[in-house]
């Protein structure tokens, strides 16, 4: 999918590219990739790098273009992992600015991708656009981190009473999300620092403030990810012990029930053997045996409860 806007403001759509336009590409097809390489002269290896889900964030300068790659968070359901990160590439040339991502995301919503809350018809400051994009990415990271924390709290409640590994596996998936976030946020921080240093002498005051905000938000997201990851690591060890303890409690209860049921079985077995005894002709033999079984079972339950075995 390709959308073309008159400027980086992302508010006036165009049917064909023109100088200074912004081209937003999402989940490109083979035909669209061919259009980008053949008609817009975007190098094929750059498109391939951006579409690679394992591509690292970086800044690349060339005589004809500048390439910036961030990693942004996306909601997904890949093998039960609710969130992961994917590359978002920004290709800047003298004729246009191209953003490319392999999947739908909340950083650049395809239907309304503008990064400017205020109405602006024309925006040509690419650096301002990059810093706003990084700031939006960090804010989405923070939103997803809060959702991960809420889901983790729900899993904790289930784990306290669980004897299965299902809930522990869910917690492991959350830990995976946090590892993805930490790795991506650290790399994005390096990209921001490199952009700031490269434009140190020419950056405007507005962009300098915007860069500072983006760095602060990115650091906050990184610190939250690390804190949640540390908490979950300790939590998984603790709840692994809880699951083992819950299983031991169940096994102890089952063993206690087996012992209690064994008492009337033992008494009935003794009087059920085909050997002479003093109770064959007594009319009180069956009630006596039944009463003795109930009494002995009750006594066993009382002793077990007294010792907290049952």
Structural domain includes residue 120? yes
> How far is residue 50 CA from its own chain's centroid?
22
172-198: average pLDDT: 85
Which of 106, 124, 142 terminates a domain? The answer is: 124
Residue appearing with tokens 């819950």: 246
Structural domain includes residue 13? yes
Q: What is the DSSP letter of 175?
A: H
Structural domain includes residue 186? no
Q: Which residues pair with 90 in a beta bridge?
A: 68, 99
pLDDT on residue 35:
83
pLDDT on residue 280:
63
Structural domain includes residue 50? yes
Q: Which residues pair with 93 in a beta bridge?
A: 65
Check whether 172 has a pLDDT greater than 70.
yes
Looking at the structure of the chain, the number of domains it has is 2
Check whether 163 has a pLDDT greater than 60.
no
Select the more confidently predicted residue: 175 or 284.
Answer: 175
Select the more confidently predicted residue: 166 or 92.
Answer: 92
Strand ordering across the sheet containing 96-101: 13-14, 2-5, 21-26, 96-101, 81-93, 65-78, 58-61
Which of 124, 158, 176 terminates a domain? The answer is: 124
Structural domain includes residue 271? yes
Q: Where are the alpha helices (DSSP H) in 160-204?
A: 166-198
Which of the four pLDDT bands, split at 50, 70 and 90, describes residue 309? low
Range of the domain at 282: 246-306
Structural domain includes residue 212? no
Return the CATH number at 88. Answer: 3.30.460.20
Select the more confidently predicted residue: 165 or 87.
Answer: 87
Structural domain includes residue 14? yes
Check whether 162 has a pLDDT greater than 60.
no
The rounded distance, in Å, linking the Cα atoms of 120 and 101 is 24
Return the CATH number at 285. Answer: 1.20.58
Half-sphere exposure of 216 (CA within 13 A, CB side): 6
Structural domain includes residue 36? yes
The rounded distance, in Å, linking the Cα atoms of 146 and 228 is 10
- As a whole number, the mean pLDDT across the chain is 79
Which of 89, 124, 159 terminates a domain? The answer is: 124
Long-range contacts of 102-105 (CB under 8 A, 24+ apart): 102/27, 102/50, 102/51, 102/53, 103/26, 103/27, 103/74, 103/76, 104/26, 104/27, 104/74, 105/72, 105/73, 105/74, 105/140
The rounded distance, in Å, linking the Cα atoms of 252 and 308 is 11
Q: pLDDT tens digits for 59-87?
A: 888 888 888 898 988 888 777 778 888 89
> What is the pTM assigned to this prediction?
0.73
Long-range contacts of 18-24 (CB under 8 A, 24+ apart): 19/95, 19/96, 20/95, 20/96, 20/124, 21/96, 21/97, 22/96, 22/97, 22/98, 22/99, 23/96, 23/97, 23/98, 23/99, 24/98, 24/99, 24/108, 24/110, 24/113
Strands 2-5 vs 65-78: parallel, antiparallel or unpaired: unpaired
Q: pLDDT tens digits for 93-149?
A: 888 888 888 888 888 887 777 777 766 666 667 888 888 888 888 889 899 989 888
């Amino acid at each position: 999918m390709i959308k073309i806007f008159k400027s980086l403001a992302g508010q006036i759509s165009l049917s064909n590219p023109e100088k200074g336009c912004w081209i937003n590409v999402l989940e490109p097809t083979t035909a669209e990739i061919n259009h980008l390489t053949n008609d817009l002269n975007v190098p094929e290896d750059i498109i391939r790098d951006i579409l690679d889900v394992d591509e690292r964030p970086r800044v690349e300068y060339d005589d004809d273009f500048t390439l910036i790659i961030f990693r942004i968070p996306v909601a997904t359901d890949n093998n039960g992992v609710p969130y992961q990160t994917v590359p978002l590439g920004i290709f800047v040339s003298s004729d246009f600015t191209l953003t490319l991502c392999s999947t739908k995301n909340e950083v650049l919503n395809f239907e309304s991708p503008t990064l400017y809350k205020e109405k602006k018809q024309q925006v040509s400051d690419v650096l301002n656009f990059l810093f706003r994009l990084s700031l939006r990415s960090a804010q989405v990271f923070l939103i997803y981190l809060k959702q991960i924390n809420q889901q983790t709290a729900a899993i904790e409640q289930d784990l306290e009473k669980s004897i299965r590994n299902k809930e522990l596996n869910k917690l492991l998936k959350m830990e995976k999300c946090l590892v993805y976030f930490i790795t991506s946020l650290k790399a994005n921080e390096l990209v921001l620092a490199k952009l700031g240093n490269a434009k140190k002498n020419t950056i405007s005051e507005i962009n300098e403030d915007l860069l500072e905000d983006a760095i602060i938000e990115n650091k906050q997201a990184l610190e939250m990810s690390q804190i949640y990851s540390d908490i979950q690591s300790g939590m998984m060890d603790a709840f692994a012990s809880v699951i083992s303890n819950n299983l031991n409690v169940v096994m102890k209860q089952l063993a206690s029930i087996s012992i209690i049921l064994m008492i009337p079985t033992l008494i009935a077995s003794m009087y059920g053997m085909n050997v002479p005894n003093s109770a064959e002709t007594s009319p009180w033999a069956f009630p006596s045996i039944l009463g003795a079984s109930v009494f002995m079972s009750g006594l066993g339950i009382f002793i077990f409860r007294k010792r907290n075995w049952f």
